[in-house]
Amino acid sequence: MKGGGMAELEEAASPLPPKRVDVDAIETAVGDLLRGLGQGDKAEVMAQTPRRVAELYAQSINPGDIDIEEDFKVFDNPGLDDLILVNDVHYVSMCEHHLAPAFGIAHLGYVPDRKVAGYSKLKKGLNYLSRQPQLNERLVVQAVDFLESRLQPKGIGLILRSAHCCIALRTNAPSQEVVTVADLRGVLREDRYRQPLWSSAVAERPSFLGR
């Protein structure tokens, strides 16, 4: 899906380097939001909630002191020339349209050339990119762009499956819809690599939704 025509997915702003937040500004804005929601007469809510929400959002948008450019290390390929799969990587994102959480599971596959990456680094890269107001369609492209630039693989593919709280809030019911987006490049477009990745990704219903 790289190079698609959706203008809002082609913003110039880079997802890197680490994000900066203003907790005091968030606190003020949340206070205004609560008053707009008719909660301004609740002393305990107005005294504590704006700061709690501000700190939660600050932590969500910038989890820890991460410099992903510096932290993401790659290693020389010891001789692998077949598909590497990393399945069931859990992540949390935030719907850009409603600022509501989305819970996801990622499935990554790549055929290495000269470099490989530690599995924890793959999760760290996705976590960094997802922990901000996002669209799934943008997140999958950004994540593959980032991983492809570091690994320079023969092919790479990423499948994201997620459930979104904004759907549950608007329908007043637990969200059971699973949103799936994918970006496959290079040899991952070939059936011999594509099929194992897709089969592992959709083998069962994501566990965060319950049974």
**How high is the mean pLDDT of the chain?**
85
> What domains does the chain contain, in order, with CATH numbers?
23-61 (no CATH), 68-204 (3.30.1130.10)
Record the tokens describing residue 65, joined without a space.
Answer: 């002191």
Task: Pick 152 or 9 by higher pLDDT.
Answer: 152
Least confident stretch, 48-52, 72-76, 107-111, 184-188: 72-76
67 secondary structure, DSSP code: -
Strand pairing report for 84-95 and 133-134: parallel
Predicted TM-score (pTM) of this structure: 0.84
In the block, residue with structure tokens 């020389």: 76
Q: Quickly tell me which residue has 């290079």 as its tokens.
A: 186
